[in-house]
């Protein structure tokens, strides 16, 4: 199957209406989760995942480990990811995962995986490193959780979040620029509000140190720049933000209204 962006280039040559373009893009997005890998007869009978993330951007050296496999391979753009898949962003590397309703960005030296991903649940695992998460919208029955070695952080509403996990697993830092969430560990719960930075240390007993959030660093500024790309995308005028990869269309085609 040709890549998603290439498919759009091919289709765009014949698109003349706004509604037709959006319909064709929806079809292309629906085809994205298909994986061109060999499977046993038993695997072929299983239902495909109901929701996938798209590996939309890579910088530097990023490795991918498919669920159930022991070998790591080089990650490639447009790769779908679902439950059990893992990513590792090496030194001086970054990655971006697109979920439609949210965007997850990995900093350098970061280990990440999906513990559970379906229509209502996004449960992420951060083994070490830093992730920046922009949640565009969250329904009341949606679950969005980030697990680290010593706690689990549940996102309660749309907003901008940053989670850091230490390499030895002894502490987690949660920064909430916009939104609200709750950290849970060993039966203890701590709410983190917008504008707060909370450091959760300990494994047997969770200790919280909450301060006001500081200024952005280079990784935050990069994430903000990527968000601006989405907000200023011309394709966003025609396509829902929930369509994974819509912003890439700006680089590979044009939109034309049918003025009949």
- For the cut 50, the answer to whether the pLDDT of residue 48 exceeds it is yes
Cα torsion angle, 121, 160, 229, 57, sign: negative
Contacting residues for 80 by C-beta, under 8 A, at least 6 apart = 32, 33, 34, 35, 52, 53, 54, 55
- Identify whether the C-beta of residue 43 lies closer than 8 Å to the C-beta of residue 10: no
pLDDT at 228: 80
- Which residues does 233 contact at the CB level (< 8 Å), separation at least 6? 246, 247, 249, 250
Per-residue H/E/C for 145-189: EEEECCEEEEECCCEEEEEEECCCCCEEEEEEEECEEEEEECCEE
Task: Work out the percent of the chain whose per-residue pLDDT is above 70.
Answer: 68
d(CA 59, CA 214): 26
* pLDDT tens-digit series, residues 163-211: 999 999 999 999 999 999 999 998 999 999 999 999 999 988 999 999 9
pLDDT tier at 232 (50, 70, 90 boundaries)? low
Kindly state the percentage of the chain with pLDDT values over 90.
65
Task: Tell me if residue 237 falls in helix, strand or coil.
Answer: helix
pLDDT at residue 9, as a whole number: 42
Instruction: Give the residues across from 135 on adjacent strands.
Output: 102, 159
pLDDT band at 47 (very low <50, low <70, confident <90, very high): low
pLDDT score of 119 more than 50: yes
* Alpha carbon distance 179, 37 (integer Å): 39
For 63-81, the DSSP string reads: EEE-TT----EE--TT-EE
Note the pLDDT of residue 227.
85
Q: How confident is the model at residue 35 (pLDDT cuts 50, 70, 90)?
A: very low
| Coil/strand/helix, residue 225 | helix
DSSP string, 81-127: E-TT-EEEE-TT-EEEEE-SSEEEEE-SSEEEEEEEESSSEEEEEEE
pLDDT level of residue 239 (50, 70, 90 thresholds): low
The arithmetic mean of pLDDT across residues 221-240, rounded, is 72
Tell me: pLDDT of 246 over 60: no
Pairwise pLDDT comparison (15 vs 205), residue with the higher score: 205
Closest CA to 226 of 61, 107, 109, 92: 107
For the chain, the residue count is 260
Of the CA atoms within 13 Å of residue 151, those in its CB half-sphere come to: 29
3-state secondary structure of 48: coil
Cα separation, 219 vs 201, whole angstroms:
23
HEC states along 176-224? Answer: EEECEEEEEECCEEEEEECCEEEEEECCCCCEEEEEECCCCCHHHHHHH
Confidence of residue 259 (pLDDT cuts 50, 70, 90): low
Does pLDDT of 82 surpass 70? yes
* CA–CA gap between residue 140 and residue 130 (Å, rounded): 27
5-13 average pLDDT score:
42
pLDDT at 100: 84
Is the pLDDT at 234 greater than 70? The verdict is: no
pLDDT given for residue 159 in this prediction: 97
| Phi and psi at residue 206, to the nearest 5° | -90, 125
| Residue 158 confidence class, pLDDT cut points 50, 70, 90 | very high
Q: Which residue has the higher pLDDT, 248 or 53?
A: 53
């Amino acid at each position: 199957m040709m890549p998603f962006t290439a498919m759009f280039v091919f289709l765009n040559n014949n698109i003349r209406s706004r509604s037709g373009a959006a319909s064709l893009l929806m079809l292309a997005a629906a085809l994205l989760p298909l994986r061109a890998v060999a499977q046993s007869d038993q695997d072929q009978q299983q239902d495909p995942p109901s929701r996938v993330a798209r590996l939309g951007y890579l910088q530097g050296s990023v490795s991918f480990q498919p669920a159930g496999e022991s070998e790591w391979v080089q990650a490639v753009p447009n790769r779908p990811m679902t439950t059990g898949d893992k990513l590792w962003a090496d030194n001086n590397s970054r990655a971006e995962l697109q979920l439609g309703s949210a965007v997850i960005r990995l900093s350098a030296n970061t280990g990440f995986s999906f513990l559970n991903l379906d229509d209502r649940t996004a449960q992420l695992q951060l083994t070490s490193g830093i992730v920046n998460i922009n949640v565009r919208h969250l329904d009341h029955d949606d679950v969005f959780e980030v697990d680290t070695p010593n706690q689990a952080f549940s996102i309660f509403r749309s907003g901008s979040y940053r989670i850091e996990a230490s390499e030895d697993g002894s502490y987690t830092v949660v920064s909430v620029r916009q939104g609200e969430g709750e950290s849970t560990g060993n039966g203890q719960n701590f709410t983190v509000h917008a504008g707060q930075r909370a450091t959760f240390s300990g494994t047997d007993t969770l200790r919280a140190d909450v301060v006001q959030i500081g200024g952005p660093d280079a990784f935050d500024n990069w994430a903000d720049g990527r968000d601006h790309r989405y907000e200023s995308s011309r394709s966003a005028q025609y396509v829902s933000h929930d369509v994974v990869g819509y912003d890439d269309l700006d680089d590979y085609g044009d939109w034309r209204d049918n003025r009949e």
